[in-house]
Structure 1
Amino acid sequence: MAKPSVTSTSHPSGALSLDELIDSLVVAHRSSADPLPFSGPSTCLASTRALVEEELGALVSRMHGEEDLAQLDRLREWLDQELVRLQACFAERREPRPSWAAGHPPTALRDNQRLVMLDALDLAPEDSLARRSLDPGFDVASLLVGLAIRGETRLANRALDGYLRLSGDYALIRLLSVFQVARSLSDARRALQRRPEAVEGEPLAHVADTMATSRRYLALAEKISAFRFPPLIIGVGVSGSGKSRFTANMVECLGAVRLCSDAERRRLYGIDPQGVGEEPPVDIYSDDATARTYQRLAGLAGTLLDAGFPTCVDATCLTRAQRKLLCQQAEARGLPVLIVSFEADDDTLKSRIVRRAQRQGTLPLASLEVLQRQQSVFEPFDGEERQQLVHLDTTATNATETLASLIQQRIYAG
């Protein structure tokens, strides 16, 4: 089936890469945040419910097929249940505000030199939906829906992972499916509204194409609302093992959200996760700081799993206690766990660390000392862990394909 066109009524004067767009969203959402969450009735819930009701009402008035109406009934029932179930989550959100798109000139989204969308969030600045006040997370939902409907699954996976890691707004994940379904409904309705009410003599092919586009968005909404059993994948490995590179690959391939210990460790102490070279005001690698970091990783893993998102932990996980703390998040929910041991010989580890230091313009001695310390405190896997364990030689030429195959066999096969 043909993908939606990238045509738009706007004429972009600039373009952003996906990483640049994510950076811009994070900055915009952070700078517009209120000092404290709103108390009392959730304006975020009210604005979301109003949008859902308007979109469903408009779709019901324009779609008369029995299957179409049954599908809309299923989506209405799911949304009604989620809006009730997630009331407490909505209450923690901040004041709704217009979309990022409303405050920026027409901006295209590109992947290298390839045009993905003429409007970065599939919203022109003058669009009424862009000017509507909604939770800032609706911008992320708009981006994900725009990419998903075009079959850009890897870009969508990368977008979500990057936004969460940089913003730290993991609470959004609990509401994201609702926002995505609401945006899908809006796009289904907008597709129908681009065609006036059927008139005599209108080409049947035009009518069929319009309905097909609308139904594609509704099918996406149902897919998003489907119940999922997400796995927890725990990466284990010392510095230079290739752990971060391979877990980044898992994000794009599996749609997993990655929890990076380095980012969360810095965030715990109010340090920008991207603040490369910043000198921390305190020792963020003390035993206490490490314990707090793993507690945070475990809590965030639970949040992501509850929301139905495959979760990948990128941390050294050197001790059994650290690994057990993480495993318990999935086990308590009856979800599958896979421990991946990322491995390489000593010469390769040291060579990678030296090359990384050269790229960063730093001396490798401190990093090599960290490696030696990590190797000395690593606790071998016990019998229980070995039941969930796979080993990956990251020096192998086919390591990426091997990891994908191992995950498929251990988690997704049957």
Structure 2
Amino acid sequence: MGQRQEDEVLELEALIADLVAFHADAEPSPGAPGAAAVRALADGEIAALRERLPGDEDRERLAYLEAWLEQDMARLGPLLEARAALPSWALSHPGSRLAHQGRVLMANAIGRDPEAPGADLPADPASDLAALMVGLEIRGESALTRQALDLYLRLSGDYELARLLSLYGTCHALSGARRSLRRRPGNGQDPEHPALLAECMGECRRYLALAERIAEFRFPPLVIAVGVSGSGKSRFTSGLVARLGAIRVCSDAERRRLHGLDPVAIHPQGGGDGAAVDIFSDEATDRTYRRLASCAGALLDAGIPACVDGTFLCRWQRDLLRQQAEARGLPCLLVSFEADDATLRRRIEKRARRQGSDVARSLRVLSRQQVAFESFADEERLHLVHLDTTADNAVETLVGLIEEHVKLT
């Protein structure tokens, strides 16, 4: 891939789309597993910080992170070996900048340090995304961090990548801590700079604290969003990304991805872009829900709250997802998104007209879903809450229900 112009400025959505396309098109480096790059990065940053950190307390924090990294690299070694290692996006975009609402957030668009140990080695795509997330998080842009992760996974479909984010994120946070110490006054420099010393050490410790947060063991919940077309589940669950940090997995997107279609394109209800294969056949639906379970499992393994958005007409579909949380000893919440029939029909008619699809056909899909929906079993009711999406405070109610039932915050 050619090097871009030095003055390239990207908004977050454009950056993520470019990052996904780059990772999809980049040629894997044969015989260069990502484990080598993350090992070089971790060892190099630990060694540099050990040499430069002045206090025993900071060194103890570093020792804890070093032990955690060793354990995580051993645990994730097989996954790193199995995945393709690619050149970093940052190497092809040295002058890129990330902007948001007219202001430049990061002079290096994904925050990847070109001078970090092993920066020139092929690495897992997770390294680029983790660097971006660390750069946003350290600047207090948590909402953008969540948006970046949600959009990258939705566009790429690489939910397995999420399992590597803590490992790479911790390493990139340590890179930030090392960079902070570069400006620290040395022994031979003017000692009359206590403010600069305090500033450097404060920034370094913020990066160390971020590394510790990333490395924390978490108990993420699984939220299963259930409801027929027009119930409002997609609209209301989209707010969970910014409000609660949950990553959405959408049945429509994954169904289309499984059949080689654009996962984020607007399409008519029940349509298949004229594809020869019926993407709504029983077999396709079975594959879709097994795919949703796999994606949710990867997010939960990564310590990331997952929200799966689908109709979930059948109990076996809901059970399949619920088992992903229960098998891991994690909390699960079923949210039934509900609206009266007139509201459902009005929403579907409005959406069909907006998308240029057949209104009558869309309403027939709703009728079939209502007939086919299998009522919740007694076991499901232990995890079930009902949400009236016609209420004025539906969003706040949804957030409150999740916080109350699964203690997300």
Give the distance between the partners of 1:112 and 1:318, measured in 2 at CA.
41
Give the distance between the partners of 2:95 and 2:388, measured in 1 at CA.
46
For 2:207, the aligned partner's letter is: Y
SS at the partner of 1:359?
helix
For 1:29, the aligned partner's letter is: H
Give the distance between the partners of 2:354 and 2:109, measured in 1 at CA.
32
Cα 1:86/1:156, change in 2 over 3 Å: same
Residue 266 of structure 2 contacts residue 355 of structure 2 at CA under 8 Å; is this kept in 1?
A: no
Give the distance between the partners of 2:9 and 2:66, measured in 1 at CA.
36
Map 1:169-208 onto structure 2 (within 5 A). 169-195=158-184, 197-198=186-187, 199-208=189-198
Map 1:147-158 onto structure 2 (within 5 A). 147-158=136-147
Match of 1:101 among 90, 94, 107: 90
Cα 1:219/1:166, change in 2 over 3 Å: same
Residue 13 of structure 1 contacts residue 105 of structure 1 at CA under 8 Å; is this kept in 2?
A: no
Residue 222 of structure 2 contacts residue 331 of structure 2 at CA under 8 Å; is this kept in 1?
A: yes
Cα 1:354/1:108, change in 2 over 3 Å: farther
Give the distance between the partners of 2:350 and 2:94, measured in 1 at CA.
41
Deviations, residues 225-249 of structure 1 (Å, cap 9, x unaligned): 0101111100001111111111111
Deviations, residues 58-81 of structure 1 (Å, cap 9, x unaligned): 001000201100000000000000
Residue 109 of structure 1 contacts residue 117 of structure 1 at CA under 8 Å; is this kept in 2?
A: yes
Report what 2:270 is aligned to.
none
Report what 2:21 is aligned to.
27
Map 1:113-262 onto structure 2 (within 5 A). 113-123=102-112, 127-129=114-116, 131-195=120-184, 197-198=186-187, 199-262=189-252
Among the aligned pairs, what percent are the same residue?
52
Residue 268 of structure 1 contacts residue 293 of structure 1 at CA under 8 Å; is this kept in 2?
A: yes
Report what 1:4 is aligned to.
none
Deviations, residues 135-156 of structure 1 (Å, cap 9, x unaligned): 2221100111011111111111
Residue 47 of structure 1 contacts residue 96 of structure 1 at CA under 8 Å; is this kept in 2?
A: no
CA drift of 1:319 comes to 1.2
Report what 2:402 is aligned to.
407
Residue 338 of structure 1 contacts residue 411 of structure 1 at CA under 8 Å; is this kept in 2?
A: yes
Residue 12 of structure 1 contacts residue 118 of structure 1 at CA under 8 Å; is this kept in 2?
A: no
SS at the partner of 2:67?
helix
Give the distance between the partners of 1:14 and 1:350, measured in 2 at CA.
46
Deviations, residues 22-59 of structure 1 (Å, cap 9, x unaligned): 1111001001144xx957xx621011101110000000
Residue 221 of structure 2 contacts residue 325 of structure 2 at CA under 8 Å; is this kept in 1?
A: yes
Report what 1:392 is aligned to.
387
For 1:31, the aligned partner's letter is: D
**Are 2:309 and 1:314 equivalent residues in the alignment?**
yes
Give the distance between the partners of 1:157 and 1:111, measured in 2 at CA.
15
Give the distance between the partners of 2:274 and 2:134, measured in 1 at CA.
39
Report what 2:7 is aligned to.
13
Report what 1:59 is aligned to.
49
Residue 38 of structure 1 contacts residue 91 of structure 1 at CA under 8 Å; is this kept in 2?
A: no
SS at the partner of 2:214?
helix
For 1:211, the aligned partner's letter is: M
Give the distance between the partners of 2:43 and 2:86, measured in 1 at CA.
17
Give the distance between the partners of 2:69 and 2:217, measured in 1 at CA.
13
CA drift of 1:358 comes to 2.4
Structure 1, unmatched stretches of 5+, are 1-10
Give the distance between the partners of 1:262 and 1:22, measured in 2 at CA.
21
**Are 2:367 and 1:380 equivalent residues in the alignment?**
no
Cα 1:306/1:60, change in 2 over 3 Å: same
TM-score, with length taken from structure 1: 0.91
**Are 2:325 and 1:330 equivalent residues in the alignment?**
yes
Give the distance between the partners of 1:391 and 1:33, measured in 2 at CA.
48
CA drift of 1:95 comes to 2.4
Residue 26 of structure 2 contacts residue 86 of structure 2 at CA under 8 Å; is this kept in 1?
A: no
Give the distance between the partners of 1:175 and 1:308, measured in 2 at CA.
11
Number of residue-to-residue matches in the alignment: 397
Deviations, residues 87-107 of structure 1 (Å, cap 9, x unaligned): 11111111231x212212633
Give the distance between the partners of 2:390 and 2:146, measured in 1 at CA.
26
RMSD of aligned Cα (Å): 2.0
Residue 244 of structure 2 contacts residue 408 of structure 2 at CA under 8 Å; is this kept in 1?
A: no
SS at the partner of 1:55?
helix
Farther-moved stretch of structure 1 (264-273 vs 329-338): 264-273
Residue 173 of structure 1 contacts residue 307 of structure 1 at CA under 8 Å; is this kept in 2?
A: yes
For 2:89, the aligned partner's letter is: W
Give the distance between the partners of 2:360 and 2:78, measured in 1 at CA.
49
Give the distance between the partners of 2:359 and 2:103, measured in 1 at CA.
38
Structure 2, unmatched stretches of 5+, are 268-272
CA drift of 1:270 comes to 2.1
